[in-house]
Structure formats: C-alpha cells, structure tokens
Amino acid sequence: MNPCNKVDLKIVIIGALGAGKTSLLHQYVHKSFSYDYRTTLGASILSRTIQLANTTLKMQIWDTGGQERFRSMVSTFYKGSDGCLLAYDVTDAESFTCLEVWRRDFLDKIRTPATDFPMVILGNKIDLNDRQISKEAAVSWCKEKDIPYFEVSAKNNINVDQAFETLAKKALVHYQETIESCLTDSIKLTPMEKSSHKTCC
C-alpha cells in the first residue's frame, strides 16, 4: 500500500436519547468529559485523524440525536456512511431494548446487507453502579448479530479509543474492498458480438 495513502471515512454514532453519544465522541476526539452537554438536535460533526498501518485515516464522525420525534430527520444523515457506532446506556434497559430498532433502521436506510456493514456496539456508563443490563446479556445479543461489543465509559475513558479504532479498521477494510470491487467491475470487457456481415469467398 502507498505509504502516503489517505482515506476519508464517514462514521455515525446512533442510539437512544441519553446513551452518552456526545460524551463518547468528545472523549475520543478531545479527551474531555462534561456533565453539561446539551441534547443533540439533528447532528453535530467532529473529526479525528489517525494512522492505521500505512494509511492516514481521517474520520468525520457524526453525532446524531436520539429523540424519537427526530428519527426521520436523523436518518437522512446516514447516507454515505462507512461505519456505525451503536450506543446504549447499561443503566437504561429501554436503550438496550431499542438497539435492534436503531440497527434495522440504519441498515434499511443505507440499503446495505447487515453482514457486510462495519458496525460496533457500545455499552456506555459502566462507571455507574445502577446497572440494568448485564454484560452477558449484551455479549449474547451482539454475538447473535455478529457485531463487536465494547463496554465503555465516556467519563473515565474506558475502552473508548479501542472501540472507535476497531470500527475504523473494519470501515477501512470495507472501504478498500468496495473500491477494489468497483475497479474490477469497471474493467470487465463485454465480448464483441459476432458480425452479421458476410465475408467474401
């Protein structure tokens, strides 16, 4: 691979209201945490550039709102995504229950087979004591869907980098495979049709 190779990827964070999506993003990009983040309406965007092997990878990360009444608006931001972080709050059972709704809505909007698209599940707020969803239950659900799972804490910066960069690696591989597939398809030659003209004897 070209050592100067640069790739831009669009990553989206989705999930229920209050799952801590904004906190996770700010922890990953700015290494900071605040109790005073306002509810995201629509989407906000932050970027971070990392090095993966010989590739300089710039991630444009879209933090989307989790309010139900804005679901149709939020889903318009899914277009062109290269990867998806799906977050829930381990202290909120409902945020876990609706993971499948968010996952299905996302995959339906981007029209990509579920088995092919880079996705990672984040169980956030493991620093809190009033946990409602066990790690075993979350791992079992993710294993069934064949999606990597990380228990994270945006507040204490636990597994945040690992989760984002696992998705980045999956997204980069998917991006490269898509590019290669497009190039292969573009150079296929169509056999020439046999001429209908008769040749001279």
Burial class (CB in 10 A: 0-12, 13-18, 19+), 122: buried
Q: What are the structural domain ranges in the chain? A: 5-186
Predicted confidence at residue 162, as pLDDT, reads 98
The string of pLDDT tens digits covering residues 16-46 is 989 999 999 999 999 998 776 565 555 689 9
% of the chain residues with pLDDT over 90: 63
Q: What are phi and psi of 174, to 5 degrees?
A: -65, -40
195: pLDDT strictly greater than 50: no
Q: Does 172 or 79 have the greater pLDDT score?
A: 172
14: pLDDT strictly greater than 70: yes
CATH superfamily to which 5-186 belongs: P-loop containing nucleotide triphosphate hydrolases (3.40.50.300)
Q: What are phi and psi of 66, to 5 degrees?
A: -105, 5
Q: Check if the beta carbon of residue 46 is closer than 8 Å to that of residue 63.
A: yes
Tokens in use for 9? Answer: 């990827």
* Amino acid in position 110: I
Q: What are phi and psi of 118, to 5 degrees?
A: -65, 120
Name the least confident of 68-72, 143-147, 173-177. 68-72
1: pLDDT strictly greater than 50: no
d(CA 29, CA 187): 40
186: pLDDT strictly greater than 80: no
pTM of the model: 0.82
